[in-house]
Structure 1
């Protein structure tokens, strides 16, 4: 799973930078298990947003800002491109003879959702798109909790290895106090004091 949370960078107003933005996105998503077709779609969407921003901000010294993030709530990849150029995005209806004007049509067809907002000062805008990328998930973090507080389905660290908990059961010690029996994915039954700290993964 990819460990992407958020990445932001700036590019100068140079049309070659649309390709550079695609390469940066592919590098960020280059993790085992990530769906390749979805990565291709994300690259396409980002390239179109960047190309439009470069056209809007095509003045000497201007820059565009790109933000790539993963929404932890729903596993959605969020692509944002900001520029300081005039005008707002508008979907066109090009004819067969037209050589351009299809960028936002592609974005609308590929993205789960997209939109834009102008900056409060009236200069420039932010255009965003959301895409589902199977296999892409927020990075795991860890926390320490008492054995009595863990639950089935959690990932727990035991002797330096990670295991999924299948069952949790409590039973009293003969000498007093409470023990917790954890059934792990490999069939191991782990007996621990209820207050024993365990490292578990959270997302």
Structure 2
């Protein structure tokens, strides 16, 4: 069981690194997807996924005793998958302003989502037990250093995820978007 915690922790860390690079640096800072008419829909799908992510972390990764919250988390993952499909379907038209989605960014999306959903699947493997013909939520997981590391990383992911979700959301609004663009125009690097 310890190896599953270590793998889930690694997947979560790799996802957060790629998601921060892609979601903040590329989408918001460099390309400003929220500023382009053809990519505003993509920005909205990213906003929904950014809002869902802290709730998924809380309900699946951190929650240790509430089976209803766990089921809610699973429903959020299903919704996240639907939004991901919509996002991927619309991405080609969304990037017309820049000549299409660069292949290297497409690869980042593949790895980012692979790590994201791998972490989720590993958590499901830890917290669901098959007994006979039924699935049971496992609320008693033996504490270990691997479990402690996983809990530590999961809890510490939430503040950054919330900040990124808020940033995505406020950039949909005219005044914050204008202020961001004003600040961004003053930065000449990157």
TM-score with structure 1 setting the length: 0.30
In our comparison, the structure showing a higher alpha carbon Rg is 1
* Structure that is richer in helix per residue: 2
TM-score by length of 2: 0.32
